Chains A and B, each alone.
Chain A
């Protein structure tokens, strides 16, 4: 019981801290309400759909296929990404290219986002820098599974 009297000071200090947070934050909220911009804000919250946090440069978002200078995909359908993918979400169908330098191109390049774990191994494995995960698109939710099977070669 004596101990609880000794911590009385700390108890009051706790209330003082929360009350200070309340009044300081309320002051910033009030300033904002009157249109004054302050360096500090009343809350750390980002109002998500309206406010976005900048993604990190290395952030792994939705995949994209890069193109050659003439507009054809860089991908040579070597299947390295398909091999390395731990969740087996990539499926590539190779087709023969008329250009003997290129030999193969992907007739179909599908990412099944239902399975993808966004590990980025496919990007690492690609020998020709044909796939990247830098679109910045992170709103990938969908009501149906079929919508999440994304065909990347839009040709």
Chain B
């Protein structure tokens, strides 16, 4: 009993550390990737003892700067809520990582340990619920700031996130119909099989439309640039107008955590999670015949690596989108959510249902 709790605690700490380090890394990736896309160099001056490492120390310099800034709250703000909002925002995003499987089961000291913090049997609903609760961070911050800009930003944010929650939920219904499970580990297990004997049975091949709707709605959930209605730094400063220092940093950090969560979900639900194509427990079995024996520990390493690579690819893709497109207008965001993504989600459910019934 005690050992079980200890294992879960260790896994939770590891998952959180993984997420925070990746988010810290992503702040650097965002700056460097946008620079490379625009023929620039990007942050490369931060150095430790003359060692620059392409500016990899920049996130730490930023973190130190944030830490040493004055922790202020405007006199007209509601102190407790003002303090609570970034924490809420951060917590509800960070907690979703609990349900994501990082790899298959490993055996350690005669114990089977799944590389997943908790294997919830309704993990998909849990993740969606936590993403929805993240709205409270925005709403509370806008309300507690007692500032008009912050309030407008937070109301826009709430409207946008609620709209896209619908599309996000609808896009996943088709997936649940195909992989009859709400457990994320179960969904990943299902994707280990092959389709027509050669194609990995990944969600994206079974639900291409569902993936498109999910990814677009997911990017709207991260409330980053093409969908940055709550922030809108070129018009209103958004729900963190009255924030500074570490509290503001927490909001910014939450955005990156959301990018990671959406990437991890896209990977887990549509791109086979930790599955490597054609890699079984004993090794590779290629569809063109032949195989390759792989040691069990190497299988685990390959699978965790595959999960990380896929997650990182989707982070890259989201940053690419963020630095390619100009922002939507507010009515365009609403149109896109309700008139395009929601109908497409419904169409996807109907099509999936018809195909499943006809089979």
Contacts and interface: CB of A to CB of B under 8 A. Distances in A.
B70 interface: no
Interface in A40-70: 42-45, 47
Is chain B's binding surface mostly helix, strand, loop or mixed? helix
Interface string B309-353: 000000000001101110000000001100110000000000000
- Find the residue from B35, B36, B339 having the highest chain A CB count within 10 A: B36
A22 B33 contact: yes
Interface in A68-115: none
A1 B340 contact: yes
B325 A22 contact: no
B122 interface: no
Nearest to A47: B41
Given A11-B325, A43-B35, A19 B320 contact: yes
Interface size, A (range): 10 to 19
A11 B39 CA distance: 21
Given A1-B335, A1-B340, A18 B39 contact: no
Nearest to A1: B339
Is chain A's binding surface mostly helix, strand, loop or mixed? helix
A15 B321 contact: yes
B216 to A, nearest CB: 11
A44 B40 contact: yes
Given A1-B335, A1-B339, A22-B320, A14 B325 contact: yes
Contacts of B36: 21-22, 25-26, 29, 42-43
B339 A18 contact: no
Given A1-B335, A1-B339, A18 B323 contact: yes
A13 to B, nearest CB: 10
A29 B36 CA distance: 9
A21 B40 contact: no
- Find the residue from B33, B38, B39, B336 having the highest chain A CB count within 10 A: B39
Interface in B291-321: 320-321
Contacts of B325: 11, 14-15
Nearest to A26: B36
A31 B214 CA distance: 37
B51 interface: no
A53 B315 CA distance: 36
A62 to B, nearest CB: 27
25 contacts: A1-B339, A1-B340, A4-B336, A4-B340, A14-B325, A15-B321, A15-B324, A15-B325, A18-B37, A18-B320, A18-B323, A19-B37, A19-B320, A21-B37, A22-B36, A22-B37, A22-B320, A25-B37, A26-B36, A42-B39, A43-B35, A43-B39, A43-B41, A44-B40, A47-B41
Pairs of residues from A and B, 3 with the lowest C-beta to C-beta distance, nearest first? A45-B41, A18-B324, A43-B41
Interface of B: 33, 35-41, 320-321, 323-325, 335-336, 339-340
